[in-house]
Amino acid sequence: YTIGDVIARFKRMQGKNVMQPMGWDAFGLPAENAAIAHKVAPAEWTRQNIDYMKGQLKRLGFAYDWDREVATCDPDYYKWEQWLFIKLYEKGLVYRKKSVVNWDPVDQCVLANEQVIDGKGWRSGAPVERRELEQWFVKITAYADELLDDLDQLDGWPEQVKTMQRNWIGRSEGLEIDFPLVEGDGKLSVYTTRPDTLMGVTYLAIAPDHPLSKQAAQQHPELAAFIEKCAHIATSEAVVETLEKEGVDTGIRVEHPITGEILPVWAANFVLMGYGTGAVMSVPAHDQRDWEFAKKYNLPVKVVIKPVGGELPDVREGAFTEKGELVNSGDFDGIKSEEALDVFAKVLSEKGLGRKQVNYRLRDWGVSRQRYWGCPIPMIYCDKCGVVPVPEEDLPVKLPEDVVPDGSGSPLTKMPEFYEIPCPNCGGPARRETDTFDTFFESSWYYARFACPT
């Protein structure tokens, strides 16, 4: 705090008009858990701590503009957060869908990936479960290209930071390819940035919780047991990358979209349903993870890329992952890796089995939290009208503050006086959303509230 105060005073001495406010990011899980531990209401606990720290800052003599003070747990603050959310909804920039989450069956709440330790909830110690829950998302992927392009306008930013941001957004150009199911009329779609390796696919891998996995498991006890085992693994890429690669043959078979070759479909623990299509094409000769999996389960390895003008690579000890030219690929032999996207896009498009696609590593932001101490999401569910935003004149939707949670899920789900309301459209019985916002939703806009605190 001292260095910021020094800079603010220095700028004032230079005759500049300086805004130096102070506020309190007051909602969230740490405050709720502390209140649970002390058996007090989170509102009481939070405001006591705000008063205590505010006293410390005032005694230190910092030159804050206390007239601009905000606390994110104040209804006067989060009223406008709810208003902003509704405006985003009206613009089609927020939506609701089912999403796989880490569920703590004891605490009855969703856990962040960082809160899952060795497959168990950090607080309860209970094995976590993967569950599908309806969640609200902000469509930040709609701005992916704009976010990426504008990095070039950030003068003075370290190149390392800009590179990290580019990698996080992760724009890639590739092909979405359909592999027709041998039985039935369906297809299994995958996305790849290496279409040059298409002729080397020897199996496909799908997420354990993929609909096809679940369907096959009804007649496949080993697969059902594998799916149950994977249900206790956290949902993050980082966690999955560290796991020993395991899988089970689902018994499902697909056709190669060009050769017609029959390929097996495996359920694998390294494929996540929440990323892409929940399925990947596997080319053991040219992807190290696929190679390790193929060696473990004695699956074929087919070399289809070699260095330009060079010899066939030796893949007995590992995959050859560099680009080059196609071999063992029939009519496509000799094509350079860089040319393969256009070549295979044309061939597959004519067959109705592929198309060019731009993908992003960036995902839409899930803002729903099944916790109590947060800003209520201002949405209503009516059997007749569907999803209805809370009317502006009824904002804010106030969080009941005289509540002492016990850690067994959100108290809001047990309070009909909170969630049972008439529909603002038809007047019929309706139910208020009981999820609250991720606390980063508060911190994403308080710079604007500091500029207009009343």
Domains, the chain, in order of start with CATH, read 2-95+376-451 (3.40.50.620), 174-358 (3.90.740.10)
Q: Tens digits of per-residue pLDDT, 8-35?
A: 999 999 999 999 999 999 999 889 989 9
The predicted structure's pLDDT at residue 416: 97
CB atoms within 10 A of CB 274: 16
Quote the DSSP letter at residue 245: P
Q: How close are the terminal C-alpha atoms of the chain, in Å?
A: 25
Question: Residues 261, 266, 268, 273: is their CA dihedral positive or negative?
Answer: positive
CA distances from 271 to 138, 170, 205, 206, 247 (A): 24, 18, 7, 6, 10
Which stretches of the chain score pLDDT less than 50?
A: none
Cis bond before residue 396 (omega within 30° of 0): yes
**How crowded is the C-beta side of 234, counted as CA atoms within 13 Å?**
21
The predicted structure's pLDDT at residue 99: 85
The predicted structure's pLDDT at residue 111: 77
Q: Which two tokens stand for residue 331?
A: 């009519």
The predicted structure's pLDDT at residue 129: 84
Residue given tokens 């939070």 in the structure block = 46
The predicted structure's pLDDT at residue 409: 79
| Residue 392 phi, psi dihedral angles, 5° rounding | -55, -35
Helix H or strand E encompassing 348: helix 337-351
Pairwise CA distance, residues 297 & 300, whole Å: 9
DSSP, collapsed to helix, strand or coil, labels residue 2 as helix
Pairwise CA distance, residues 101 & 234, whole Å: 8
Q: Tens digits of per-residue pLDDT, 381-420?
A: 999 999 999 999 999 999 999 999 987 778 999 999 999 9
Q: Which two tokens stand for residue 218?
A: 């009804």
Select from 439, 365, 442 the least CA-distant residue to 140: 365
Residues with Cβ within 8 Å of residue 383, at least 6 apart in sequence: 428, 429, 430
Q: Which two tokens stand for residue 350?
A: 């004519």
Q: Which two tokens stand for residue 149?
A: 């392009």
| Residue 147 phi, psi dihedral angles, 5° rounding | -60, -40
The predicted structure's pLDDT at residue 375: 98
Q: DSSP string of 115-169?
A: GEETTEETTT-PBPEEEEEEEEEE-GGGGHHHHHHHGGG-TT--HHHHHHHHHHH
